[in-house]
Structure 1
Amino acid sequence: MMNLALVTAVAATGHDDDLMPLLDACADAGVHARAVAWDDPTVSWGRFDAALLRSPWDYTERLSDFLAWCEHTDRVTRLLNPLNVVRWNTDKHYLADLATIGIPVVPTRFVEPDAEPMEALAGFLDEFDAQEFVVKPTVSAGARDTQRYARDQQFVAGNHIGRLLEQERSVMLQPYLASVDQHGETALLYFDGRFSHAARKSAQLPPGEAARQAPMALGEIVATTATPAEQALAERVLSATARLRQLETPLPYARIDLLTGTDGQPQLLELELTEPSLFFAQAPGSAARFAGVLAEQLADGTVRARMAPA
């Protein structure tokens, strides 16, 4: 029986709704899976055949430590998703890479730590006729340090940007799309490059107040049917990612979060390749499908060989 580490964090204890269904599904698929915290110094990672990143949700607070752990773990076992992808995906500057090659991304402007916050915000508002906008750090999860502002809240928004820049954190500015309040976000889940299921997430940024600070997705989450346009864009995103990261075969898992743009067409909000909730509860049988992918890849022993070098 193959040994699989389901990598979590102490901060995620009791919050990862995917964990128990995946443990059960792995057992049914003949994989011995065990949940372990990435920063537990007592864990011998080389004793596992693979380490699957599932809910290490505190990595945003200490990214350099987490990436150092990923590099160490990648040397002694198979890291999934692979190191090459994790390094890229843990900072949302990846959206600029995807936009550059033609992926329709929610309009985004990046503000770097050496910028003047009010000047950067004024430039953004001059460029976009947005009545509301979002400020968030490029390294974040679960809407941490993210807030929605009205156009006339420039002073308080500028202070938010300034606080993040003083912490040497890059910032993203995005117009707030009205479709979020009406339709929420659509999350499409892919296992080994094959579409599994979709879920609808309700809006997580209430007007006039900070987002709820939590390491996982919040709000109402329900099963949904992805439209042909949403699936087509998700598959374009996966293909583009494979080219950018020089991947030889599909990733074991991916979640693509989409919003509806002002033109009525889907746009990429986030590409989740490091620690996304997979919404097994909203799709009966999905945990078994994912466990089957893991069992197949572990059994043939080619997960590392089929990934491009980090």
Structure 2
Amino acid sequence: MVCWNSDERYLLDLAGRGVAVVPTRFLEPDGPCGEEDFRAADALRHARMLLDQGRSVMVQPYQRLVEEGERALVFVAGTFSHAIRKGPVLTQPGVIDNDRVPHPDVTPYRPTEEEIATALAALAAVPSSGSPLFARVDLAFDDARKPVVMELELIEPNLFLGHHPQALGRSVEATAAEARRAAS
């Protein structure tokens, strides 16, 4: 699961299993890279630099409704725990700001049933024998206002435990239960 989730190509796996994800494709160093793949000249230059270094490039269309906020749904031991909404990170086209706040304007959020169903579909598609101890499913809305997975964080997510009163307790209980199970 760690290897699978550490390569963003897992988004292709999720889509192949019927999960609604942001349309994603990869450009490879030995493949084509054209202007039609990018909205901005800076992005095209950056992609070509990465490809010239022998690295792959992930390409996704801009999801304009992310400006309303990205939703992060947190699951503990396969069960929905809590959610937050965070503001957009990249707010100025063409500006690369490595010192930006990674999760601006975080507020508690109550997801819809459709958002929870989309997140659960992503978790069900994880190639694992059981539910991850913790997971964060980041969602945005597509142009039809349907939730799509932007990212599935299984190996080192910020779980926003301070943004829900029971979140830390749930996490501690699930971790202790998993430790007891592993020890027996």
Same fold judged by TM-score > 0.5? Answer: yes
1:214 and 1:288, CA in 2 relative to 1: closer, same or farther beyond 3 A?
A: farther
In 1, the alpha carbon distance for the partners of 2:162 and 2:8 equals 27
* Letter matched to residue 249 of structure 1: G
Match for residue 296 of structure 1 among 177, 180, 184: 177
Does residue 185 of the first structure (1) align with residue 66 of the second (2)? no
Does residue 259 of the first structure (1) align with residue 175 of the second (2)? no
> What does 1:147-296 correspond to in 2, within 5 Å?
151=39, 153=40, 155-181=41-67, 183-213=68-98, 217-241=102-126, 245=127, 247-296=128-177
Contact 1:217 1:277 in 2 (8 A): no
* Letter matched to residue 21 of structure 2: V
Q: Offset at 1:166? A: 2.1
Q: TM-score, normalised by structure 1?
A: 0.56
Quick check: which has more Rg, 1 or 2?
1
Q: TM-score, normalised by structure 2?
A: 0.92
Residue 220 of structure 1 aligns to a residue in which SS? coil
User: Which residue is 1:88 aligned to?
Assistant: 4
Residue 8 of structure 2 aligns to a residue in which SS? coil
* Letter matched to residue 19 of structure 2: I
Contact 2:28 2:56 in 1 (8 A): yes
CA RMSD of aligned residues (A): 1.9
Residue 125 of structure 2 aligns to a residue in which SS? helix
Q: Which string of whole-angstrom CA distances, capped at 9 and with x for unpartnered residues, describes residues 54-84 of structure 1? A: xxxxxxxxxxxxxxxxxxxxxxxxxxxxxxx
In 2, the alpha carbon distance for the partners of 1:248 and 1:179 equals 35
Structure 1 segments, 4+ long, off by >6 Å, are: none
Runs of 5+ unmatched residues, structure 2: none
Residue 60 of structure 2 aligns to a residue in which SS? strand
Contact 1:184 1:201 in 2 (8 A): yes
In 2, the alpha carbon distance for the partners of 1:216 and 1:115 equals 34
Residue 173 of structure 2 aligns to a residue in which SS? helix
Residue 301 of structure 1 aligns to a residue in which SS? helix
1:214 and 1:190, CA in 2 relative to 1: closer, same or farther beyond 3 A?
A: farther
Contact 2:89 2:101 in 1 (8 A): no
1:107 and 1:164, CA in 2 relative to 1: closer, same or farther beyond 3 A?
A: same
Runs of 5+ unmatched residues, structure 1: 1-84, 125-132, 134-150, 304-310
Does residue 115 of the first structure (1) align with residue 1 of the second (2)? no
In 1, the alpha carbon distance for the partners of 2:46 and 2:165 equals 41
* Letter matched to residue 17 of structure 2: I
Q: Offset at 1:272? A: 0.4
